[in-house]
Each structure stands twice: as structure tokens, then as C-alpha cells.
A = this chain, B = another copy of it.
């Protein structure tokens, strides 16, 4: 053993990420352990630390992948129809991803401990990219409004969409199935948009 050189460091990094993601999908973040990952990829614990600083770093990268996948699905929805339709489609795409990839999605919002290092810049950029998709549609909806207004509306609506998904899918709301969540989402989005465009100051 030692000095096997069967894989490059980049390859090992990918293998670790793949194995970690599989575990999250099947058993949730709680089941993510270095020893298990090492076993899964056929290396030993020490090797994990050649490619990641520590567990928190590894987890951040798994989350990064999830953010990329969400972004891909959001960007796959048609962005050229009527803005209201696009926004509804984005909301549906979001809840669909969340329900299909429940453990990975839920993991993104796990509270981080207060003392571990702040999120790296590349991670924050991935989050911003997600917000931007909705913001663009909101901006299309109200071209005359200052950019700041659109931004605030996008934040309110994204927050709303996410909150409905969260409370529904984690069972804090007694919603039955995905269809039920979708209906609640549609109610939120349609009501918000109708009320927003009818605002006294717009």
C-alpha cells in the first residue's frame, strides 16, 4: 500500500464527492462519516484529508453541487413567456427539485455552527445566481420600477416560495402530497403578483 497513484487528486476528490452525495441521498446528512466515505471509495480516512480541509469543507462542496443542480433546473424553464407564467414555472421547478432530491435540498439549509468559518465566495455566488433567475422575471414584470424595488420583491417572493416548500416538505405544515404543496405555492405566487402589481405606489 501507500503510493498507489491509481487516481489523481482531482479524481479522488470527485470520488469522495460522489460517495458523499450518494450517502446523503440514501440516508441524509446525518449518515455522512469520513470512515464510511473512505470505505466506499476504497481508500482510508487519511486520504480524504488530502483533498478536503475537513468535513465542513466537504459538506460545503456537496451543497455547492446541489446549488448547481437547482440552478440548472431553474435555467431550463422557458424564460420568454409572460413573466407571471415564468415565475410560476420557477416556483414549480423549485418545489419539484426539493421533493425529488429531498435530503440533498434540505441539507443546504442545515444550520451551521456559529464558530466554523464563513461560507467561501464561490458558494455565495452560486446562491446569488439562483436569486437572479427570479429577479430577472420580476424585473420584466415591472420595467418602470427602480431595480431596488424589483430586488426587494424578488426577495419577498423567493422567501415565500422557499418557506412554503420548507414547511410543507418537512411536515411542519400538514400538507399531503407534492400536488397539494404546488397548489399552495400557486396561491401564494398568484396572490402576491396580483397584489404587488396593484400596489398603490406602483
Contact = CB atoms under 8 A, between A and B. Distances in A.
A163 B95 CA distance: 13
A101 B30 CA distance: 25
Nearest to A163: B163
Interface stretch (A2-10, A68-76, A167-175): A167-175
Interface in A141-180: 152-153, 155-168, 170, 172-173, 175
A156 B184 contact: yes
B188 A191 contact: no
Q: Looking at chain A, what size class is its interface with the partner chain? A: 35 or more
B198 A28 contact: no
Contacts of A172: 109, 127
Contacts of A175: 155
A50 to B, nearest CB: 26
Interface stretch (A14-22, A35-43, A110-118): A110-118
B111 A156 contact: no
A132 B31 CA distance: 35
A86 interface: no
Given A158-B173, A191-B196, 5 more contacts: A28-B114, A156-B184, A158-B163, A159-B166, A191-B191
Interface of A: 27-31, 103, 106-107, 109-111, 113-115, 127, 131, 152-153, 155-168, 170, 172-173, 175, 183-185, 187-188, 190-196, 198-199
